[in-house]
Amino acid sequence: MGFKNKVVIVTGASSGIGASTAIAFSAAGAEVVMVGRNEAKLKSVAAKCKNPLVLIADMRKDDDVKRIMDQTIKKFGRLDILINNAGLSSTGDIMDSESMMKSYDIIMDTNVRGLVHMTSVASPHLAKTKGNIVNISSVAALITPTFKGTINYYVSKAAVNHFTACAAAELAPHGIRVNTISPGPVRTDFIANAKLDADYDYIKTKNALNRITEPEEIADLILFVASDKGKGVTGSNFLSDNGMLVKRS
Ligand SMILES: NC(=O)c1ccc[n+]([C@@H]2O[C@H](COP(=O)([O-])OP(=O)(O)OC[C@H]3O[C@@H](n4cnc5c(N)ncnc54)[C@H](OP(=O)(O)O)[C@@H]3O)[C@@H](O)[C@H]2O)c1
């Protein structure tokens, strides 16, 4: 899968799945735009990519999202692929409206609003290149929460799935493909950042293959869907969950 001369934006490229994806696209010859808030982490990932454009930006801020697109066009003149990966979780107790709504705002602004806004500013440019979008959702979109207080995260990923299907329908006449990849548990900083009381030894017992996915595995799937090999695929949701959904209790 060659991506020579292709320009790819990866949001949330400072860590985990986004970091592995930026490194994989760069290794495959793409020009990579890396987006995140943590400058030190972005720089250390950037050192593993070939001349990336590194942008410190917050997906919750409208001006930052517009700046990502403007600077990409200024530097490279085109956009071929958008990987909407930036995302997080935070707990909120449904019996305590203050914590519930605080978590709702952080999660929905990042996982849904930022993704919708980025898709919207990128679409006119992707129409010119007949490009494509890969949205990173989660198996969480299809089940009820494993951990107490994470309803808002599960709801946000269900929104990502439906947004993907709707956007795929609306953007198909412009030649743009839009797909979702839904990981199960992946070994990243996600659990620590979300302050969840869980560990991978426990989590892996929840899936049929009794293992945890490495971020590079999700990056491989992203590159496949974004490549010409995926040219007939749009509006699809690829699950990579180690058999979490099919596990017998
Ligand atoms: N790990 C899992 O088990 C798992 C499973 C299913 C789906 N996912 C999804 O996979 C995606 C990547 O998560 P991960 O597992 O790689 O977690 P991670 O290691 O915590 O990485 C999350 C990335 O999102 C970025 N991010 C968060 N809020 C942002 C904001 N407001 N603006 C810009 N960037 C922001 C972070 O960058 P900064 O900190 O630099 O801002 C970081 O690069 C997320 O959408 C997550 O929901 C993860």
Beta-strand relationship, 237-240 and 53-56: unpaired
Report all structural domains of the chain as residue ranges with CATH numbers, in order of start. 7-240 (3.40.50.720)
Extended beta strands in the chain, E state: 7-11, 31-36, 53-56, 81-84, 132-136, 177-183, 237-240
153 is an active site residue:
yes
Ligand 1 within 6 A of CB of 58 = yes
Token code pair at residue 62: 């409208």
Q: What is the pLDDT of residue 2?
A: 84
Task: Give yes or no for residue 143 CB within 6 A of ligand 1.
Answer: no
Q: At what angle do helices 115-129 and 151-171 cross, to 10 degrees?
A: 20
- Residue 3 Cα to ligand 1 middle (Å): 24
CA atoms within 13 A on the CB side of 165: 8
- DSSP code per residue over 164-223: HHHHHHHHGGGT-EEEEEEESSBSSSHHHHTT-S--HHHHGGGSTT---B-HHHHHHHHH
For a ligand 1 pocket test, name from 188, 218, 238 the mutation site with the most ligand atoms within 8 angstroms of its C-beta: 188
- CB 136 less than 6 A from any atom of ligand 1: yes
The token duo for 15 is 């860590």
- The pLDDT score that the predictor gives to residue 70 is 98
Q: Pick the closest to residue 228 from 2, 32, 8 (CA basis).
A: 2
Nearest CA owner, ligand 1 atom 2: 186
Of 153, 154, 200, 202, the catalytic one is 153
Q: Which atom of ligand 1 is nearest to the CA of 110?
A: 31
| Whether the CB of 78 sits within 6 Å of ligand 1 | no
Say how many Å lie between the CA of residue 132 and the centre of ligand 1.
20
Tell which one of 33, 84, 88 to mutate to probe ligand 1, the residue whose CB is within 8 A of the most ligand atoms. 88
212 touches 185 (CB < 8 A)? yes
Tell the residue nearest (CA) to atom 36 of ligand 1: 12
Q: What is the pLDDT of residue 248?
A: 83
Residue 162 is predicted with a pLDDT of 98
Tens-binned pLDDT, residue by residue, of the chain (249 aa):
789 999 999 999 999 999 999 999 999 999 999 999 999 999 999 999 999 999 999 999 999 999 999 999 999 999 999 999 999 999 999 999 999 999 999 999 999 999 999 999 999 999 999 999 999 999 999 999 988 999 999 999 999 999 999 999 999 999 999 999 999 999 999 999 999 988 899 999 999 999 999 999 999 999 999 999 999 999 999 999 999 999 987
Distance CA 46, CA 22 (A): 8
C-alpha dihedral, 103 to 118 to 36 to 2, nearest 10°: 130
132/223 Cα distance (integer angstroms) = 11
